[in-house]
Amino acid sequence: MTNVMAPGRVPIAILISGRGTNMAALVRAAASGTLNADIRLVLSNKADAAGLEFADAAGIRTLVLSHRDFATREDYDRALVAHLREAGVQYVALAGFMRILTHEFLGPFAGRVINIHPAILPSFPGTHAQKQALDYGVKVSGCTVHFVDEGTDTGIIIAQQTVPVLDGDDEDSLSARILAQENELYPQALNDVLCGRISVVGRRTIRKS
């Protein structure tokens, strides 16, 4: 795939570690024209990430950059930045990228890294958010799209969608219903950012009309 930017579209990279279900939703949205993105690169820290096959089949350049090949998180993040700059990327979408990013990455892309989390933040940050929600006994869970900062799921919230927790839910059933909402919310929220419809005021985001 060439690195010529599609007319009017914002060059982005998507980072994954596994199935890449949300990555696939973003790829489909870009292909349909509902996401104003030129997806330059899908990068994974794991060679066996299933999402790489989907991206490759869609004609998107893929790259494996194993964190195990670097002595420190900072070294790895500097290498990430170098590859993204080479691809001409302006924004980065995390889609199940299971790495904590350091300032070496977040500094160069300040305010331009977006993530989706399977909970209504600030509740249940970190891993196994769906299990956390079930263990706590909440009646409503959901997903959150947010800017990424150096904390764990502490960045400014862009958009949220709720999902009811049903009697008899287990981690798998709740995760599946949340994921369906993630696949819808992420392209919409990311598109608002890329189109300049989101402004940040303090800790709040405001959607412009």
CB contact at 8 A, 154 and 2:
no
63: pLDDT strictly greater than 60: yes
Q: Token pair for residue 150? A: 């150096």
- Listed in sequence order, the residues at least 6 apart from 37 whose beta carbon sits closer than 8 Å to its beta carbon are 9, 10, 11, 12, 26, 29, 30, 91, 190, 191, 194
Which of these CATH numbers, 3.30.43.10, 3.30.720.200, 3.40.50.620, 3.40.50.170, describes 116-209?
A: 3.40.50.170
The pLDDT tens digits for 176-193 are 999 999 999 999 999 999
Position 55 scores a pLDDT of 98
Residues 26-39: what's their mean pLDDT?
A: 98
* More confident position, 22 or 201: 22
Supply angle C-alpha 149, 194, 34, rounded to 5.
130
- What integer pLDDT is reported at residue 15 of this predicted model? 98
Q: What is the pLDDT of residue 6?
A: 45
* pLDDT reading at 5 higher than 50: no
Q: How confident is the prediction for the chain on average, in pLDDT? A: 95
Q: How confident is the model at residue 4 (pLDDT cuts 50, 70, 90)?
A: very low
Cα dist from 25 to 111, 154, 190, whole Å: 22, 24, 11
Q: Per-residue pLDDT for 1 more than 80?
A: no
Average pLDDT estimate for 86-106: 97
Residue 82 has a pLDDT of 98
- Could you tell me the residue ranges of all domains in the chain? 9-110, 116-209
Q: Please tell me the distance from the alpha carbon of residue 208 to that of residue 45, in angstroms, as a whole number.
A: 35
The confidence score (pLDDT) of residue 207 equals 86
For residue 124, the cross-strand partners are none
pLDDT-wise least confident of 107-111, 154-158, 185-189, 198-202: 198-202
pLDDT above 60 for 3: no
Q: Which CATH class, in words, describes the domain spanning 9-110?
A: alpha beta
- Side-chain-side CA neighbours of 81 within 13 Å: the count stands at 17
| pTM attached to this predicted model | 0.94
Q: Which residues are catalytic?
A: 117
With cut-offs at 50, 70 and 90, classify the pLDDT of residue 156. Answer: very high
Size of the chain, expressed as the number of residues it contains: 209
pLDDT at 151: 94
- Say yes or no: do domains 9-110 and 116-209 share a fold: yes
Per-residue pLDDT band at 194 (split at 50, 70, 90): very high
